[in-house]
Amino acid sequence: MAAETHKDELIWIPKEDEEERARVDIYKYIFGFVEMAVVKCAIELGIADAIESHGRPMSLLELSSALGCAAPALLRIMRFLTNRKLFKEIRINENIQDSEQPSLYAQTALSRLILRSGEKSMATFVLMESSPPMLAPWHGLSARVKTEVDDSSAPSPFEVANGKDVWSYAAANPGHSQLINEAMACNARVTVAAILDGCLDVFDGIGTIVDVGGGNGTALRMLVSACPWIRGINFDLPHVVSVALKSEGVEHVGGDMFKFVPKADAAFLMSVLHDWEDDECIQILKKCREAIPENKGKVIMVECVIEENNNNVEEKHEELELKDVGLFLDMVMIAHTNKGKERTLEDWAYVLAQAGFNRYNIRAINAIYSIIEAFPN
């Protein structure tokens, strides 16, 4: 598969099999949106939920009658989804001719992730990213890349498409705000489970913790239930905390993290700093610093750490890997935020040092994020 490199000219001459592969791969980009759209359709129809509640694989007729769908159209959707390995197609009797026996559709590990509810469900995350306000900004990506050159205050693609930045838009549209909060909760459930599994000691010695930009409080709910000695403060914008679910050991506080952060032994920020540019991150971190004790406080960040030079094609596997998700999220930051970005180790070192955190460590967890623990002295 390796291409011949002409070092003198630095020109790559692709081999024939690479060209053959490319002729196929280009369709991933021509029809990339189709996978997202069909998975969204499957979630809206409740295909995985119907099979789950049936308790065993279902035939097309059982499925179409349970979902109230036209069987011929559903057959085409299921053919696509089984081809993409979202569901499994099984035949009971190997001896009967293929065309004569009905297929049964069974769940896979992947289809279980698009169940509408449950600890591992990512369904609302798919629905949020595929919602019209989140999709429209993607048409403005190239314009954004150009305008940043001569106008650093140019509005984000999200603002161009929706008239407001993402958080003001959510404040004005409670339905969309709920979609964001529940989508973030999907992500929080799997990430906090990975933190509790791999790095529980991060919370040793902490009596109170403030989750800055904690959304609907899902992360703190899990954390407090795993570490019942901790009292949690879920801090987010007023329109978010006003509809957050109440839970024991967690107090909801509304406010603006650029103005103040409630006092606690530790501040926790998950998937928050990536929404902001360096100077804004420094401001937020300084507010966190003021909120924690100087001698024994710490800030726990759960964020992507982008690897430098991870584009080495020779080493790259065909399959998507967890560390690649950070690069996807970096594109999301261009489309959906004003100046947010995913950061490399070097980027994090700069932001932390400027905010007065000279001591920090980074720990890997089985998630798209790493844990960055930073100490004020």
Ligand X SMILES: C[S@@+](CC[C@H](N)C(=O)[O-])C[C@H]1O[C@@H](n2cnc3c(N)ncnc32)[C@H](O)[C@@H]1O
Catalytic residues: 274, 303, 342
Q: Report the SS3 class of residue 247.
A: strand
Q: Considering the rule CB under 6 A, would residue 215 count as an interface residue with ligand X?
A: yes
Distance in angstroms (rounded) separating the CA atoms of residues 47 and 103: 15
Which of positions 278-337 make contact with ligand X (CB under 6 A)? none
Which is nearer to ligand X, 87 or 167 (by Cβ)?
Answer: 167
- 184 or 233: CB nearest ligand X: 184
Strands (E), 38-187: 58-59, 88-90, 104-106
Closer to ligand X by CB, 74 or 206: give it. 206
How many residues interact with ligand X (rule CB under 6 A)?
18
CB of 167 to ligand X, least distance (A): 5
Spatial contact of 254 and 237, defined as CB atoms under 8 Å apart: yes
Helix (H) or strand (E) segment spanning residue 34: helix 32-45
The HSE-up count of residue 367 (CA atoms within 13 Å, CB side) is 25
Residue of the chain from 86, 128, 266, 272 that contacts ligand X (CB under 6 A): 272
Q: Between 60 and 188, whose beta carbon lies closer to ligand X? A: 188
- Residue 340 and residue 273: Cα distance in Å, rounded? 8
Return the residue of 39, 209, 240, 371 that touches ligand X, per CB under 6 A: 240
What are the structure tokens assigned to 370, written together? Answer: 């790493």
Question: Taking contact as CB under 6 A, which single stretch among the options 33-41, 82-90, 132-140, 212-220 is the one that binds ligand X?
Answer: 212-220
Residue nearest to ligand X (CB): 213
237 lines the binding site for ligand X (CB under 6 A): yes
| Binding span for ligand X by CB under 6 A among 47-55, 126-134, 209-217, 336-344 | 209-217
* DSSP state letters, 300-314: EEEE-EEPTTTT-TT
Question: Which residue in 51, 161, 270, 304 binds ligand X (CB under 6 A)?
Answer: 270
Helix, strand, coil in percent for the chain, rounding step 5: 50, 15, 35
CB neighbours (10 Å) of residue 312? Answer: 7
Residue 57 sits in the site that holds ligand X (CB under 6 A) = no
Tokens of 44: 């809206």
Q: What are phi and psi of 276, to 5 degrees?
A: -125, 155
Please say which residue, 81 or 210, places its beta carbon nearer to ligand X.
Answer: 210
Q: Which is nearer to ligand X, 46 or 215 (CB)?
A: 215
Strands of the sheet with 370-375, listed across from one edge:
250-254, 231-236, 208-212, 266-270, 298-303, 370-375, 359-364
Q: Which stretch binds ligand X (CB under 6 A): 114-122, 138-146, 235-243, 328-336?
A: 235-243
3-state secondary structure of 102: coil
Stretch that binds ligand X, among 63-71, 153-161, 180-188, 337-345 (CB under 6 A): 180-188
As a whole number of angstroms, the distance between CA 372 and CA 255 comes to 24
Q: Does residue 213 interact with ligand X by CB under 6 A?
A: yes
258 binds ligand X (CB under 6 A): yes
Report in angstroms how near the CB of residue 252 gets to ligand X at its nearest. Answer: 12
Residues that bind ligand X (CB under 6 A): 167, 184, 187-188, 213-215, 219, 236-237, 240, 256-258, 270-272, 275
